[in-house]
Structure 1
Amino acid sequence: MHNAEWASAILGHPFPGQHRVTWPDLYLLHIAAEAEPSPPPPPLATAAAARHRAERETARAAVEQAYRQQVEEWEQLAAGLADLGVRAEVRHNYTSHRHLDCYRQGGDHIYLLDDLHIGRLQRSAGRVLCFTPSRAKDLQDFPDAATDGRPPTCRACLTTARRITTRGAVT
């Protein structure tokens, strides 16, 4: 037997399953399978599979578009910070209390390579943009720069970067 949709079309009523089909119906399906050894694919299942592929493709395209927007925004923020005289790069926090040996969780931060002094906001080189004394315990170790081009994902870093780059230097 080929599939339930094919069997339903042969029998003229819904296929109840291989264990619940009657002997005459089973024999009819056997004759049909011998007469048509390679039937066309089932239209309902084929249509459902095509619909699922289209939905997956749409979802994948949406994820790619969102990632491109994040990368573009990071490039603009990095350029804005450079205009303020501050070089920055993306680094992952390895001292977070949510970071275990084989489990990586948390955001990628904006790591400052130069001192930042804008109004009351002051961050020294070697710190992340979202650094505060109360968060110092969880923001200690940022060993390597992200070389794969990923954008920062720390919401506090991004909010601060947006605020200082759009408003400009307030000295």
Structure 2
Amino acid sequence: MTSPPVLILPNFSIPFEVECDAAGRGIGAVLMQHKQPIAFFSKALSDGNLSKSVYEKELMALVLSIQHWRHYLLGREFIVYTDHKSLKHFLQQRVSSPDQQCWLAKLLGYQFEVKYKPGIENRAADALSRCVDVGEMNTIISFPLWSDRQQLLDELAQDVYIQKLAQEVQNSSTSKPV
């Protein structure tokens, strides 16, 4: 997840997969196709949501991740993976609390199946849900890999015009190239 290149472009002719998790003070999710990530999502839980049960936090992670990527998922069949076994059956359960009814109502119109995926296999979403410190988040941000970097730098070093411009800027920060 941390070595570039990380993200792929979505292919709308194949089904999407969402891995989601709630842990500690946050939720995390990954939108994928063929086990390759397309996008990452994480959100810190508010103080009011921290007191909720594990089931409700996991349900919140599922709903918020689906809503976050609604432009990819609405009108398509997709699979949601969670490490919380009881969520696998939540669409068939009798809804008991008003909060659960509210979360369930937000999923109307989506066509998906919930599958259980053990936490050890749900690493990306798990890592995103556990990051609460900004310093930790910096380690999972993706960035492009510049494959021809050295070749371009060598060409720039040999270009007389570019070297002249660079020298002018270094000598006077207010100078403008002509």
TM range (shorter): under 0.3
Taking structure 2 as the reference length, the TM-score comes to 0.22
Q: Which has the higher helix share?
A: 1
Taking structure 1 as the reference length, the TM-score comes to 0.23
Instruction: For CA contacts below 8 A with separation 6 or more, give which structure has more relative contact order.
Output: 2
Q: Which has the higher strand share?
A: 2
**Higher Cα Rg: structure 1 or 2?**
1
